[in-house]
Structure formats: structure tokens, C-alpha cells
Amino acid sequence: MNHEQVWQELCIHAFDNQTEANDFVLFVEGCKTATDNGYVWTTQRPDYQQLLCNIGCSNDTQHSFTLPSETFARLAQIKREARTEWHRRRQEELKTHLKKTLVEIHPLSDLTQTQQLTLIKEFVNAHKTDLGSVPFISGLRGFLKYQLAHKDRLAEWSLSEYVLTQNSEEATEAYVRLLKGILCMQLVYQDEVETNESIAIDIEHQETLLWRMNPDLSNSAIRDILHSLPSSSVDNTSYRLSDIPRQQKEQSVLDWIIQWLTHCLSFLPQIKT
């Protein structure tokens, strides 16, 4: 490999969180000293000395290595191009994993409301401090509030797949498990958008998933779910009403009392045995 190919490979390994490659890339970018004609690096590490030579540096003295400004600028450009390609490849991997997850996860329709709320709280505890989960949680909260505001027909949520894939495979599985498995939302369709030029951060070219509200979720159940989700700002532009009527049975006094007691007891600490 020539020095450009060596540098490109090092950058890709760094993006993949390989420690040695990442440390060397950081060394090249952060430990250089400017000269009249370029940059100089000083190191006594034999492995770094060899890598500096491999990316095109000249070994002027025993521990000093120089690189012309034009060559360093080219390496910076190669890194930007490698990052774009890495993001594109990574997004394709996440999209493939999302499609697989959507097939493998099935609605858990036999969950009791208490079990459902417990699983929702477990999800929130695991993801509420994750900045990458904010768009998903905020969107879900808005979806539920939109349904409460429009009680007569089932609401639908146009969700960009980028919201589901921007973090990791584990996060994608957690989002789909909550939507499809725990809440039993219905995936109506997946809008295929073909493009040969999309990259990971260009969300305009992402596919859209249309989710429909679980018809078995009552207004009171939705309120309990909202109570379990962290508060957040909501963008209502991605919600709409379907043509499907929403059947809501009247809540009896006994049901109201049971719901009220369950809500109150949920604040009590669990007794450890």
C-alpha cells in the first residue's frame, strides 16, 4: 500500500474504535509542530516511527519526522473522505439490522398493564440519559399525546428510520422492542427511498416507517405510559389521523378505583425478600 492507502486504513480502524489506530491518528493530528514548510513530529516509539514513515514522513533525525504542508492537507482530505465512506457503510449495516429486527420482534399482546409499565420504566432507566435516544423518546411522547388529543380515530406516526438507527444495534433493538413488542404499535408500511448518494448524516434520504397506534390502548393506559416517560419538547409535524375509528369503552367506577390504587401503589418501594 502507498502512504495514502495506509493512512486511509488507519482512519477507518480509528472510526471502528480500534484503540491503537485511534491513538496514532490523534497523535498525528494533535502532536505536530508547525514549521516553515510543513509539520514535524517527535517520538521515541518504534511503532509510531514506522507508521510515520508509512504515511509519507521523512526521518530527518533520529526521533524527528517531517511532512510537507501539501501532503498533510491531502491526508486531512483523505480522512474526511474515509469518514464519509465509513458513515455510509455503517448506516447500511444499521439499516440491515433494523429490517432484521422488525421481522424478529413480535407484539407481546398478553402483557398485563402492570407488566407493560414495568418494561417501559426499564427502557426509560436504560436510555433516558442517552442523548441519541432523545428524538425517539420525544417522538413517542408526542405520538401518545397526539392520540389523546384526537380520541375518535387511530393516530399514525411517520418515523424516520434514522431515529431508530443513529445509535447502535442494541439501541435499535430496544426502540423496536418498545414500539412493536411492548406497546404493540402496528407497522403499517415502510416507505422505500432508493438513492445511490445518501450518507449516514443525510436524513432526507432515509426511509420512513409508518406506525399506527395500538387500538387496544385505552386513554387511561396512554396517560400511565406518558407518566412513565421523561418530559420533553414535542414536534407534532410527523403525526396524523388514520381513517380507522378508535373504539373506547366507558370506564366503570370499579375500573377507575383499581387504576387509582395501582397508580398510588406504584410509588411505594418494593419489598425485598
State the pLDDT confidence band at 273, using cuts at 50, 70 and 90.
very low
State the pLDDT confidence band at 129, using cuts at 50, 70 and 90.
confident
- CA 265/CA 247 separation, integer angstroms: 29
User: Mean of the per-residue pLDDT values for the chain?
Assistant: 87
- Is the sign of the CA dihedral 12, 14, 18, 23 positive or negative? positive
pLDDT tens, residue by residue, 167-223: 899 999 999 999 999 999 999 976 644 433 333 344 445 689 999 999 999 999 999
- CA 24/CA 255 separation, integer angstroms: 64
Q: Residue 154 has what pLDDT? A: 96
- CA 90/CA 17 separation, integer angstroms: 13
Is the pLDDT confidence value at 249 over 90?
no
DSSP-derived 3-state class of residue 25: helix
Q: Residue 191 has what pLDDT? A: 62
Is the pLDDT confidence value at 267 over 60?
no
Domain boundary assignment for the chain: 3-86, 109-265
State the pLDDT confidence band at 94, using cuts at 50, 70 and 90.
very high
Q: Residue 189 has what pLDDT? A: 78
- Across the range 42-50, mean pLDDT stands at 95
- Across the range 139-163, mean pLDDT stands at 94
- Across the range 3-26, mean pLDDT stands at 96
Q: Residue 30 has what pLDDT? A: 95
Query: pTM for the whole thing?
Result: 0.74
Q: Residue 268 has what pLDDT? A: 58
Is the pLDDT confidence value at 132 over 60?
yes
Question: Minimal CA–CA distance to 38: which of 14, 74, 85?
Answer: 74
